[in-house]
Every structure is written in C-alpha cells, then in structure tokens.
C-alpha cells in the first residue's frame, strides 16, 4: 500500500514542478506573480528564465530518477531538492511577498517534498 502512495506523490510533485517551470518559460509575468514576487515591468527576464529552466529540469530529473534509478535515488533527490522551496520561502519574505504565499505555498511545498522523500526511503 505504501509503494503506490510514495511513487504517486513523487510523480505528482515532479509533474507539478515541471509545470511550474514550463509556466515560467511560457507566461513568465503571470508565473512570477503566482510565485509571490511579481516581476518588474522593465526587467527580470533572466530571473524568470532561470527559474523556469531550474524547475522544468528538476521535474524531469525527478521523473527520470523514479523511472530508471528507483525509490532510494529519488528519495535522496527529493531530500536535496526540498532546499529549493525552502529557499523560495525566504526569497518571497525578503522581497515583499506575503507571509501567506511564503508559508502557504513555498514552505508547505518544502514540507510535502520532505514527506515524499521519507515515503520513498520507507519503501
């Protein structure tokens, strides 16, 4: 019973982060507003592209690890990659975003990714 839950949550998180990355590449201003730190109208193109590429590649890498390396490798990946939404929490707080977005989106994501790591290690 634990195996489908562990894999299901990991796949869902990987797909979600890949979607977020694609959104930053395709509709960067809207994605930045959803992130919690709206982009400046006259700049920030590099920040938006880097964020998009980072998230898209992490989502694809997570899926590849699940498919080709197994739960243990994917668990280590999730453990390490949880640093990204944790860091995003502080970025949003430091740059004028709301506490609700920082904790309700980014910190909650970090906790969910850590739960995913624990489930992957448990199978």
Write out pLDDT tens, residues 8-47.
999 999 999 999 999 999 999 999 999 999 988 887 788 8
Cβ neighbourhood burial of 54 (10 Å; 0-12, 13-18, 19+): middle
CB 57 within 8 A of CB 21: yes
User: Domain residues for 74?
Assistant: 2-122
* Two structure tokens written together for 75: 């668990």
Q: In this structure, what DSSP letter does residue 38 have?
A: P
pLDDT of residue 85: 97
Q: Return mean pLDDT, the chain.
A: 96
What's residue 107's pLDDT?
A: 98
pLDDT at 110 over 80: yes
Structural contact between residues 121 and 11, judged by C-beta atoms closer than 8 angstroms? no
Q: Is the pTM of this model over 0.85?
A: yes
Domain count, the chain: 1
């Amino acid at each position: 019973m634990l195996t489908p839950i562990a894999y299901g949550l990991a796949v869902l998180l990987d797909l979600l982060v890949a979607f977020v990355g694609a959104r930053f590449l395709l509709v960067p201003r809207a994605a930045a507003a959803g992130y919690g730190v709206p982009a400046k109208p006259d700049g920030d193109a590099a920040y938006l592209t880097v964020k998009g590429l980072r998230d898209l590649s992490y989502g694809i890498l997570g899926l590849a690890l699940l498919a080709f390396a197994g739960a243990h490798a994917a668990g280590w990946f999730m453990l390490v990659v949880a640093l990204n939404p944790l860091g995003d929490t502080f970025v949003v707080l430091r740059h004028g975003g709301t506490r609700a977005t920082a904790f309700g989106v980014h910190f909650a994501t970090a906790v969910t990714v850590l739960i995913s790591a624990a489930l992957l290690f448990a199978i």
